[in-house]
Amino acid sequence: MSVSLIDQMGTDLTVVNAARVSFAKSSDWVSENKLKNSDVSLIQYLAKHGHWTPFSHCTATFRIKAPIFVARQLFKHKVGLTENEISRRYVETEPEFYVPETWRGKPDNKKQGSSGIITCTPKLIHNLEKSYATLKDLYFQMLEQGIAPEQARMILPQAMYTEWYWTGSMVAFSRVCKLRMSEDAQRESNDIANEISRKCKVLWPVSWTALEIQW
Q: What is the mean pLDDT of each run of 10 residues along the chain (215 residues)?
A: 97 97 93 92 96 97 98 95 95 92 81 78 93 96 96 96 98 96 91 98 97 93
CA 190, 193, 199, 200 torsion-angle sign: negative
Among the listed residues 194, 191, 184, the one whose alpha carbon sits nearest the alpha carbon of residue 107: 184
Please give the domain boundaries of the chain with CATH numbers for all domains. 2-86+160-213 (3.30.1360.170), 103-155 (no CATH)
Q: Which amino acid is at 119?
A: T
- Does residue 180 carry a catalytic annotation? yes
Catalytically annotated residue among 88, 153, 175, 180: 180
**pLDDT reported for residue 120:** 85
Q: Which helix (H) or strand (E) holds 108?
A: none
195 touches 173 (CB < 8 A): no
For the full predicted model, state whether its pTM sits above 0.75.
yes
Q: At what angle do helices 187-203 and 170-180 cross, to 10 degrees?
A: 150
How many Cβ atoms sit within 10 Å of the Cβ of residue 70?
A: 25
